Amino acid sequence: MDYSKLYIDGQWVASSGNQLFSVVNPATEEVCAKVVMGTQADVDTAVKAAQVAFKTWSKTSSEYRANMIQTLVDKLREYRDELAHSMSIAMGMPLHLAGEVQADDQIDILETYVSRTALMDEVKTIGNAQVIKQPIGVCALISPWNYPLNQLVGKMAPALAAGCTMVVKPSEQTSLQDFFVAKACDEIGLPAGVFNLVPGYGPEVGVALSSHPDIRLISFTGSTRAGIHIAQNAAQNVKRVVQELGGKSPLVIDTGCDVNAAVEYGINDVMINTGQTCTAYSRWIVHKDVVQDVIALAKQKAEAVVVGSGDDAFMGPMVTQAQQERVLNYIKIGIEEGATLVTGGLEKPAGITKGFYVQPTIFADVNNNMTIAREEIFGPVICIIAVDNIEQAIEVANDTVYGLAAAVYAKDKTLGFEIAKQLDAGMVYVNGGSYNIEAPFGGMKQSGNGREFGDEGLHEYVELKAIHVD
């Protein structure tokens, strides 16, 4: 695959600039690809192409768009191995996991929007008013490096289903898979200008997209700090903003639950993407009666996690050296603030000499005022906080600026559901409840606004129009 050109208006074209970004494989510390970085001028060209395409794409039938999305799904399944490999080398996730975690589920999400194109045909009658749905317009889709295909699909799928056109900017570190998506769009005959790919740096391409007067919606996934800047830029021309931002998600473990299952669930959730998951349960809020059992099991299971890049590995490296250094600094802060280091720490995992690796790390005796309990670490670090009762657990869980996800382990599902209703989180998983790709995904408070996936994800890309006829 050639990563040196942009995909604009149905063509692979050179950038107006001459910048290339060196993608470093975090498992080997070697450059694995060089990717073109677009410019503000490239953004302008892409937006113009998307504007022209919108005039016809927005008027296509729901059946036509459904067929086009299904054809894209089929083509991406053909590229499944290439998608998995491209994300594995850029992120460091072991290849066998990248296929399942970073590719398969994401293509399935795209397929859920085949039937949702028909939602655009619905008309609501209110007296003499007919309320119809129309696509919002040209959209800017900015995806992160931790789940790059997932977050592209979560934005692209509803945009296509609604009849919107788009300019896509992936993270510079993990943009390789987007080139395969662009190639697939080209090969299936998606009309020129509907999908435009402009990789680039946030301060140039990201700012150009978020402040562009002809873009009507921006969907962004990333840090809360970056999300605030994007919202400020978008406010200049009152474009709609959909954001999924930071998190410090709690796992509440109550007395009477299956403690072993709770710990297994929490360890797997945090470690599978090296803690680089916005919803990762990095705060474990545990009833004092079972906290010692939880600590012992967490130590045992964390130390059993196979770290590396081989077929038996469950956890890979941090995505960049900067991220590795950031996480190690938080571990150092945790030690300095008096938390008990149960396992892990500042050294590289045993037997590993190369790569941006961090050990699975568990802290106990953490209070919710410590830095490691309040700030998003985005690494394989878990803080265990003991509480006296479930009321205190709920209070501690909600004592954060974030509200993305939460999990509860209780003695039964009924109690777990009642606890879940009291947690400030956009998504709550009870007793290991499985992830549902048809349900809305998004957060409360400083974890963002709007929702992705499901019907609610489509609604973000829709304008409602009331037509009054007597």
Burial class (CB in 10 A: 0-12, 13-18, 19+), 395: middle
Residue 36 region by backbone torsions, left for phi larger than 0, else alpha for psi between -120 and 50, else beta: beta
Residue 326 burial (CB count, 10 A): 15
Tokens 């590396």 map to which residue?
Answer: 308
Q: Are 215 and 138 in contact (CB under 8 A)?
A: yes
Q: Are 448 and 244 in contact (CB under 8 A)?
A: yes
Amino acid identity at 300: Q
Annotated catalytic residue within 82, 111, 172, 244: 244
Cα angle 140-144-148, degrees, rounded to a multiple of 5:
95
Distances from the Cα of 79 to the Cαs of 21, 126, 194, in angstroms?
Answer: 24, 46, 20
- Give alpha helix (H) positions in 272-412: 291-303, 321-336, 371-374, 390-398
Annotated catalytic residue within 139, 185, 278, 383: 278
Distances from the Cα of 211 to the Cαs of 232, 238, 281, 292, in angstroms?
Answer: 9, 10, 34, 51
Residue 283 region by backbone torsions, left for phi larger than 0, else alpha for psi between -120 and 50, else beta: beta
For residue 387, what is the enclosing H or E element?
strand 381-387
Q: Are 385 and 285 in contact (CB under 8 A)?
A: yes
Q: Give CA–CA dist 303/43, Å, rounded.
A: 47
Q: Are 258 and 415 in contact (CB under 8 A)?
A: no
Take residue 68 and report the two structure tokens written for it.
């086009």
Q: Are 441 and 427 in contact (CB under 8 A)?
A: yes
244 flagged as catalytic: yes
Q: Give CA–CA dist 402/263, Å, rounded.
A: 23
Q: Are 109 and 44 in contact (CB under 8 A)?
A: no
For residue 253, what is the enclosing H or E element?
strand 250-253
DSSP one-letter code for 36: E
Q: Give CA–CA dist 157/379, Å, rounded.
A: 29
Take residue 416 and report the two structure tokens written for it.
């777990």
Q: Give CA–CA dist 7/196, Å, rounded.
A: 5
139 flagged as catalytic: no
Strand partners, 361: 381
Which residues carry out catalysis? 244, 278
